[in-house]
Amino acid sequence: EMVVDAIPDTSQPVNVVFEGGVTLQGFHMSTARPTTETNLEIEFDWKIDPNVNPRMGIFVHLVPSKGDPAKDQIAADHVLLSDLLAFEQAPPNKTIRDIVNVTIPFDAGGKDWTVYVGVWNVRGNGKRRAVLDAGGTTVDDGRVELGKFTVP
């Protein structure tokens, strides 16, 4: 189910509030140790304010500990929650499950990876939306760090 009343028990609560009317309530990764050439599923649990700003998207960056972080990162930027709904189409004050699938490339092995997420303006200036309340997470460049993993 995509629309639920609360975050699933499997999700780690974070409650990160972004400018524009969206809150990341929690997240869950399908595995803590993905291997190369496999799929990593990440679930983000969002709560949408009734007055949410339209024209926003989500960026997901997996950044390696070695190499060029900008060039070698794995990006899963998207506009539609679970490829179905824009923020402004989602029912307000419910938990919206946003499933993102990332393929871990063959050259990702032997590196530590940091998972970041944030919200950005899809139309207009393309800028990242500010983090208004980090909910105990670390904020870095308009995005929040959700965790780390190592690809063997």
Q: Report DSSP letters for 76-111, one per residue.
A: --BSSBTTTB-GGGSPTTSEEEEEEEEEPPGGGTTE
* Mean pLDDT, rounded, for 15-31: 97
For the cut 90, the answer to whether the pLDDT of residue 123 exceeds it is no
- Alpha-carbon distance of 60 to 23, in angstroms, equals 15
Which amino acid makes up residue 54? Answer: P
For the cut 90, the answer to whether the pLDDT of residue 107 exceeds it is yes
What is residue 2's DSSP assignment? -
Residue 124's pLDDT is 84
- Alpha-carbon distance of 68 to 125, in angstroms, equals 26
Give the pLDDT band of residue 111 (cuts 50, 70, 90): very high
- Alpha-carbon distance of 152 to 146, in angstroms, equals 20
- Alpha-carbon distance of 74 to 111, in angstroms, equals 13
Within 13 Å and on the Cβ side, how many CA atoms surround 104? 25
Residue 131's pLDDT is 97
Residue 128's pLDDT is 96
**CB atoms inside a 10 Å sphere around CB 65:** 13
In tens, the pLDDT along 48-106 reads 999 999 999 999 999 999 888 888 999 999 999 999 999 999 999 999 999 999 999 99
The tokens 């929040």 sit on which residue? 144
Query: What ranges in 19-145 are assigned the alpha helix state H?
Result: 69-72
